[in-house]
Structure 1
Amino acid sequence: MLTDRQGNTLSGASAEALDLYSRAVVAFNLYRGDPVTLLNQAIKAAPDFAMARILRAYLFALATEPEAAQAARDDVAAVKAYRLNEREASHVAALDQLLAGEWSAAALTLDRHNMRYPHDLVALQVGHLADFYRANARDLRDRIARVLPKWPADIPGYSIVLGFYAFGLEETGAYAQAEATGRDALDREPLDCWAHHAVAHVMEMQGRAEDGIGWMIAREPHWSGDDNFFQVHNWWHRALCHLDLGQTEAALALYDGPIRQGTSAMALDMVDASALLWRLQLTGQDVGNRWHELARAWDSHADGRLYPFNDWHAVMAYLGAGRGDQVERLLATLRSGETSREASVWAKQIGLPLVEGFQAFWQGDYGTTVERLHPARFIANAFGGSHAQRDIIDWTLTEAALRGGYRDLAEGLAHERLAAKPHSPVNRAFLNRASALGDRPRQVA
């Protein structure tokens, strides 16, 4: 029987389909090229090729977009009619849970899968992404730590596994080890966007904005190509470095250029666009009518049910564009949704207070902003994104405390931010503004 590059057997494959599938897996690993087209071709060449359809279902499911989720369900329904080996059947079980909105159940299924099949690179990457989407820093690290000793350096994909591990180390605060591991991965495979991204995160979390800009510029040829799925997110990371240095014009130029010039309709790209425009707005930068295009792009994705992390970012765009009706639509869905699925629990317990807090901020109701965002910041790491992405909550809360005259809170938050990034002009400005509020601080209700 035919096997993949790591030695896992593949049901229903042909030699031609295997070559196409192998290229799709590499494209997935590197976030470079078009894995879906390659998988379409593999399925056409071998209609009963289970892993080709399983990988395509994963790609659609991980897009966190309603239409793509339905395409994933169609693939899962089809593959259940195939003759599957135990490894492939385990994948289908994880997909069922993922598509039911049970992210942690799917991740736990993949935990067990990864320990039984440690060289299943597709499962490792999907599990890693499931950990990211549910913001489980420990499993981002330990999913890889459990299997890495079983990966000799000569097995294809070893460098990719190192890149995953680098990001898990960064999200758990092991910054020096994360950077060293990420650089090791890149020495082995310079095109590994996830490893590059892990090192960029280290520099962001350590407040090394100048290093971050230098890192992005020096390695730009490796991650900025038009066929690179990760390019927008990496441009976003560079924009964060400019913002940390107070260089708002440079950040806005990146938004107008590589981040949004293509008006991408992918949810992941739109999350970055919303998050950058919101930060720019917080700094006082006039973003003009940019919100309107972005809000229109969100219309086909923000349903209040599939993935609340996306809905929250859609709300930023709707607020900026003055589309209060869409904000109220999402609020109604978040408030009324059932709570039997994990994604629904995220929506009600985390997405709802974040949306309410950001809406209150936009409306100038800083007291309500503080009431909603102060407690939400401690639970928001349960439903998606990285520490760098979720920092927008603390930034908005700090700005609300300043604008609302809550000096004690504003000073405390500014000191907290400066402890992490003592050289950040943005954080220093927070403290200076808090100190200027006077000797009669307003108390939070």
Structure 2
Amino acid sequence: MPTDRQGNALPGATAEAAELYARALEAFNLYRGDPVALLAQALEAAPDFSMARLFRAYLYALSTEPEATAAARADLVAAKASRLSEQEASHVVALEHLLAGEWSAAGCALDRHNMRYPHDLLALQAGHLADFYRANARDLRDRIARVLPKWSPDLPGYPIVLGMYAFGLEESGAYARAEETGRQALAMQQLDCWAHHAVAHVMEMQGRAEDGIGWMIAREPHWSGDDNFFQVHNWWHLALCRLDLGQDKEALALYDGPIRQGTSTMALDMVDASALLWRLQLTGQDVGTRWQELATAWDLHADGRLYPFNDWHAVMAYLGAGRNDQVERLLAALKADDAGREASAWARQIGLPLVEGFTAFWREDYEKAVERLHPVRFIANAFGGSHAQRDIIDWTLTEAALRGGYRDVAEGLAHERLAAKPHSPINRTFLRRANALGIPQRQVA
């Protein structure tokens, strides 16, 4: 029976289909090329190749896009109609949880799968991404730690596993080990975008903006190709470094250039675009009509149900574009989502106060913005994104306190930010502005 490059059996595959599957997995590992097209070719060569169908279902499900989620369900139904191996049936359990909006149940199912099949690289990466989408820093790290001793440099895919471990270490605060591990992964596979971005995250979290710019520029040929699915996110990281140094115009140029010039409609890319444009607006940049284009792109994805992290970012664009009807639609959807799914709890408990807080900020109701955003930032790590992505909550909260004249809150938040990044020009500016508010100060009700 054919196997993948890590030795996992591939029932129903021909030699040709197995090779196409291997190429698709490598494309997924490196976020380069088109794994969906390769899997379609594999299924054409071997229609009974269920693992190829399950792989494609993961790709669709992990996109967090409504239309793709429907395609994932169709692939899962087709796969379940076949006679499945125990390993394939284990994938089905995880996918069913994922498509039901039960991200933690999916992550736990993949925990058990990964421990039983430690060389199943597809399952490791799918589980790692599920951990990211539910912002589970511990499992981002420990999912890989549990299996890493069973891997060795001579096993294909080993650098990919190291790259995932680097990101898990970074999100867990082990910055030195994360950077060392990420660099080790890249020494073996220089095209690993995930490892590259793990090191970029370390530099962002440590406030090493100059190092971050140098890191991104030096390695740009390895992560910025047109076939690179992850390039926009890495450009976003470069823009964050520019912003932290007060180089707002350079960050805006990155938005107009590689981040948004292709007007991507992928949710991942639009999240980055919304988050950068919002930050630019906070720094006082005139972003003109850029919000309108982005808001229109969000219409394809923002349903208020599938993944609230995306809906929150869509609201940023709708606010910027003046599309209040869409803001109200998503507010209503987030309030009404009581389906009992984990994603529904995220919508009500986290997505709703974030959208209310950002909406209040945009409408200059700074008291309400502070009241909504201060408590939700402590639980926002339960519903998605990285520490770097969620920092926009604290940034907006601090700006609301400053604009609302709440000196005690603004000063405390500025000190908090400076403790983490003492050399950040933005954070030092926050403290100067807080001190300039003087006394008397306003109190939050």
| Range class of TM-score, shorter chain | over 0.9
Deviation at 1:338, TM superposition (A): 1.1
Contact persistence 1:3–1:9 (CA under 8 A): yes
Structure 2 match to 1:43: 43
Q: SS where residue 262 of structure 1 aligns?
A: coil
C-alpha deviations, 1:300-351, integer Å up to 9, x for none? 1000000000000000000000000000000001001114100000000000
Structure 2 match to 1:86: 86
Structure 2 match to 1:424: 424
**Aligned equivalents of 2:82, 2:244: Cα separation in 1:** 52
Deviation at 1:82, TM superposition (A): 1.1
Q: One-letter code of the match for 1:385? A: G
Structure 1 match to 2:413: 413
Deviation at 1:153, TM superposition (A): 1.4
Structure 2 match to 1:255: 255
**Aligned equivalents of 1:151, 1:441: Cα separation in 2:** 58
Structure 2 match to 1:326: 326
**Aligned equivalents of 2:51, 2:161: Cα separation in 1:** 20
Contact persistence 1:11–1:83 (CA under 8 A): no
**Aligned equivalents of 2:84, 2:12: Cα separation in 1:** 9
Deviation at 1:439, TM superposition (A): 2.1
Structure 1 match to 2:304: 304
Q: One-letter code of the match for 2:295? A: A
Structure 1 match to 2:16: 16
**Aligned equivalents of 2:31, 2:3: Cα separation in 1:** 23
Aligned residue runs from structure 1 range 26-175, under 5 A: 26-175=26-175
**Aligned equivalents of 2:344, 2:113: Cα separation in 1:** 26
Structure 1 match to 2:215: 215
Structure 2 match to 1:197: 197
C-alpha deviations, 1:164-206, integer Å up to 9, x for none? 0000000000000000000000000000000000000000000
Contact persistence 1:244–1:424 (CA under 8 A): yes
**Aligned equivalents of 2:52, 2:270: Cα separation in 1:** 28
**Aligned equivalents of 1:152, 1:310: Cα separation in 2:** 37
Q: Which runs of 5+ in 1 are unaligned?
A: none
| 1:434 aligned onto 2:414 | no
Contact persistence 1:274–1:313 (CA under 8 A): yes
**Aligned equivalents of 2:402, 2:417: Cα separation in 1:** 14
Contact persistence 1:5–1:156 (CA under 8 A): yes
Contact persistence 1:316–1:358 (CA under 8 A): yes
**Aligned equivalents of 1:253, 1:386: Cα separation in 2:** 24
**Aligned equivalents of 1:224, 1:152: Cα separation in 2:** 29
Aligned residue runs from structure 1 range 284-303, under 5 A: 284-303=284-303
Q: One-letter code of the match for 2:395? A: W
Q: One-letter code of the match for 1:436? A: A
**Aligned equivalents of 1:230, 1:88: Cα separation in 2:** 28
| 1:6 aligned onto 2:34 | no
Deviation at 1:234, TM superposition (A): 0.1
Structure 1 moving runs of 4+ over 4 Å: none
Q: One-letter code of the match for 1:101? A: G
Q: SS where residue 229 of structure 2 aligns?
A: coil
**Aligned equivalents of 1:335, 1:12: Cα separation in 2:** 46
Deviation larger for 94-103 or 332-341 = 332-341
Deviation at 1:391, TM superposition (A): 0.1
C-alpha deviations, 1:230-282, integer Å up to 9, x for none? 00000000000000000000000000000000000000000000000000000
Deviation at 1:140, TM superposition (A): 0.2
**Aligned equivalents of 1:339, 1:68: Cα separation in 2:** 21
Structure 2 match to 1:347: 347
Q: SS where residue 84 of structure 1 aligns?
A: coil
Q: SS where residue 423 of structure 1 aligns?
A: coil
**Aligned equivalents of 1:268, 1:158: Cα separation in 2:** 26
Contact persistence 1:203–1:209 (CA under 8 A): yes
Number of aligned residue pairs: give it: 445
Structure 2 match to 1:398: 398
Contact persistence 1:132–1:384 (CA under 8 A): yes
Q: SS where residue 13 of structure 2 aligns?
A: coil
Contact persistence 1:239–1:251 (CA under 8 A): yes
Structure 1 match to 2:335: 335
| 1:266 aligned onto 2:266 | yes
Q: SS where residue 56 of structure 2 aligns?
A: helix
**Aligned equivalents of 2:153, 2:22: Cα separation in 1:** 19
| 1:382 aligned onto 2:382 | yes
Aligned residue runs from structure 1 range 218-229, under 5 A: 218-229=218-229
**Aligned equivalents of 2:315, 2:121: Cα separation in 1:** 36
